[in-house]
Amino acid sequence: MQIGDYTDFYAGLNHAFTVGELFRGAANALQPNYKHLPVGYHGRASSIVVSGTPVRRPLGQILEDPTAEVKKPILSACRKLDMELELGAFICKNNKMGEPIPIDEAENYIFGVVLLNDWSARDIQAWDPWVVLTDALEPYRTTGLDSDVEVLDYLKEKSKKNVFDIKLEVVLKTSSGATTTITRTSGKNLLFSFNQMLTHHSITGCPMRVGDMLGSGTISGKEASERGSLLEQNRNSKTVIKLEGGEQRVFLEDGDEIIISGLCMGEDGVRIGFGECKGKIVPAVSI
């Protein structure tokens, strides 16, 4: 499948609160609009690659001393390379420009769900093939995170079971071969469903196309072992992450490999696997 456009949402409430708290404090962790609509931003589909593709450490402008009175950026290889545990959804129907997709019809536009790693260059940001059909996921529908805010009518779904209970796991494998499971969480840790994301995305009349991809946003639980990014786990570089074999990490190093896996398992013992989404960090190009 050729991916058309790509929109990444921010529906992981626990992740959004934890990261917001790190930078703005608990009282202002969430932006005022966060619980009212699925916040999203457009990204370039050309940089989405299949599992197993090596990931080059990116170059960009960073602030070597963010506390300096006069901000002076330098060109550098990313020093705070992170992973983000997400789910992706593929669009299978077009809508016409100017015609929003009603919430009750949104699920008919979603073809299937995949594992997604949204690689993130935290310091650069500061300055500047395996699809599981949604039909197969029906038995694993569940309720998402509770909200104390009532959404507008166009985002209200008939069923409260609008997300999927997908068991998600992230393994970090170092260049020495040592593997550590750094995250275990569930796809139900979302404030908004893919249906709501799609409906809100198209409410202005934005035309969606077959092959477009929606990212869920980083999926985290409330416990430390359920955090879907290193930024949350290291509390923005305040702590280290202890790995098997005695190694430690703050952010990803060259040679590190991130392996994301997903599994649905019912009471009847039926298992639906998502395969793996993995990528290894290779050094930045010389400049």
Q: Which of 15, 42, 200, 201 is catalytic?
A: 15
What domains can be seen in the chain, in order of their start residue?
Answer: 6-46+77-282 (3.90.850.10)
> pLDDT tens, 17-28?
999 999 999 999
Average pLDDT over residues 33-55: 95
DSSP sequence for the chain: -----EEEE---HHHHHHHHHHHH-GGGSS-TTTTTS--EEEE-GGG---TT--EEPPEEEEES-TT-SS--EEEEE-SSEE-BEEEEEEE-S---TT----TTTGGGGEEEEEEEE--EEHHHHHT----EEGGGGGGGEE-----SSPPPGGG--S-S--EE--EEEEEEE-TTS-EEEEEEEETT--SS-HHHHHHHHHTT-PPP-TT-EEE------SSGGG-SBHHHHTTTTTS-EE-GGG-EESS--TT-EEEEEEEEE-TT--EEEEEEEEEEEEPPPP-
Average pLDDT over residues 265-269: 82
Q: Does 53 belong to an annotated binding site?
A: no
Evaluate if residue 66 carries a pLDDT over 90.
no
Note the pLDDT of residue 210: 95
Q: Does 125 belong to an annotated binding site?
A: yes
Report pTM. 0.90
Mean of per-residue pLDDT scores for the chain: 95
15 classed as catalytic: yes
Note the pLDDT of residue 237: 95
Q: Does 8 belong to an annotated binding site?
A: yes
> pLDDT tens, 165-198?
999 999 999 999 999 999 999 999 999 999 999 9
